[in-house]
Amino acid sequence: MTTNPIAAVIFDWAGTTIDWGCVAPVLALQETFADQGISISVAEARLHMGLAKKEHLKSILNLVTVANQWILKHERSVTDNDVNILYSFLERKLLETVSSHSHLIEGTLPLVELLRKDGIPIGSTTGYTAEMMRIVQERAASQGYSPDVIVTPDQVKVGRTAPLMIYLNAVKLSAYPLSRIIKIGDTIADIAEGKNAGCWTIGLALSGNALGLTQSEIQKLTPIERTDLFAKAREQLFKAGADYVVDSIADCAPIIESIALRIKDNHRPSLYKG
């Protein structure tokens, strides 16, 4: 256990440390449904981003617009067998897309270097399976990023918004108490995971799912569009219960320092009200 007030920092992956805009899951989901003759929008694909991928798939199938398309095509409701078949398609699509969407987000390596210098362990959680993460992990390592621990939903049986992946991180990192751990992520599910574990949470509004735009798409926005969309992304994460919200991982260092000072003053993270 580190003597630093921060016991550990646990990062999400897509939209947080890699894949600006959290693109890979959206593409894979849209292609999976398109193969079945069903159209889902980007907004529908992003609605429950951050969940374990099978649960994410189920959440989309439960949307009225998608359920109605399914009934029109198959003349019946979705069955558990349908879910399993679709999930096998989704897994294959994700294995195809994650490799090309695993570029590190600017600011990741400097923050990791700072945490290493301060002796703070680095963990991670994700909605990706262990098989998917083997690809992502290799790509990230080739760019210089290797967290101390990677926990996937299939290691704990229950993914986000449950806190179990954070608990396993804490065990593997020997990091405690949970009120001295920081969870950083870009989705409502990330924030809920951190809050349910009793951790501090930092939401990333622009680099991931909250905004849901690539950097090139952001550059095409008008000033008025930027102001409106950026504000909505930040509000979404604050409403989810984030203790802090910043633009991207590049902005986290001063927030982590602020949390360390608050811990020294015996402050605790806010309670989850979701």
Active site residues: 12, 53
Reading the block at residue 45, the tokens are 């694909």
| Rounded-to-integer distance, Cα 114 and Cα 131, Å | 29
Contacts (Cβ under 8 Å, ≥6 apart) of 104: 17, 18, 140, 143, 144, 145
Neighbouring CB atoms inside 10 A of 116's CB total 12
Concatenating the DSSP letter of every residue in 186-235 gives: SSHHHHHHHHHHT-EEEEESSSSTTT---HHHHHTS-HHHHHHHHHHHHH
Nearest to 104 by CA among 96, 113, 91: 113
